[in-house]
Amino acid sequence: ELKVEQNPLFLSMQEGKNYTIYCNYSTTSDRLYWYRQDPGKSLESLFVLLSNGAVKQEGRLMASLDTKARLSTLHITAAVHDLSATYFCAVDTTDKLIFGTGTRLQVFP
Amino acid sequence: DTEVTQTPKHLVMGMTNKKSLKCEQHMGHRAMYWYKQKAKKPPELMFVYSYEKLSINESVPSRFSPECPNSSLLNLHLHALQPEDSALYLCASSQDLATGGYEQYFGPGTRLTVT
């Protein structure tokens, strides 16, 4: 059974700091997505990573994919309060997505 | 139009009621999905439709009954639900299913409470 694990599950960080969220998965896949979810809201697509070595950046967030290591990272640069949310990675297994456990990010002044 | 719409936004129903959730997209997508999400948990896949045919049923209890009347619409019929079925129900669509790699677009969700 495919497992997708995120680390950490909860992250409290100060504004202006940098940090990385990790997403490990247990089977072969070269397609991975990152989503953001605000409390009580739906999922917002952040990044689509479709090949080994893919790197995407948007604002203070940068995502990468290493299919050989079965690892994706979401790097946060100079965090701001507006980034506070829950972040999910999701692995594409061709016919469905398997979501990671989620990382709840809280950014404080 | 890159929007997936869902109605209603909120639904409160008793355990003997029958209700339906509705999802609609006009992006020409041929794959549509239902997910269930409990608080502080990731979404869990329930059903997948591909070209209006049920492709995946993740062993969902029969009190949940999906329906895809046409390529733009997806319904979820609810009957005799239990309080533990209270959750956020998310609909999503993607361009296709066969080869993967197509981004899923999520609707705003329906917050369901079963009393």
Residues in chain B within 8 Å Cβ distance of A96: 33, 45, 48, 56
Q: What is the pLDDT of residues A39-60, one digit of tens each?
A: 989 999 999 998 889 999 999 9
Nearest Cα of chain B lies from the Cα of A95 at a distance, in angstroms, of 6
* Contact criterion met (CB below 8 Å) for A101 and A2: no
Q: What is the pLDDT of residues B5-22, one digit of tens each?
A: 999 999 999 999 999 999
pLDDT score for B97: 72
A93 falls in which pLDDT band (50, 70, 90)?
Answer: confident
How many inter-chain contacts (A to B, CB under 8 Å) are there? Answer: 51
Identify the CA nearest to B102 among candidates A96, A23, A99.
Answer: A96
Q: What is the pLDDT of residues A19-39, one digit of tens each?
A: 999 999 998 888 999 999 999
Residues in chain A within 8 Å Cβ distance of B25: none
Q: What is the pLDDT of residues B26-66, one digit of tens each?
A: 999 999 999 999 999 999 999 999 999 999 899 999 999 99
Residue with tokens 């972040």: A87
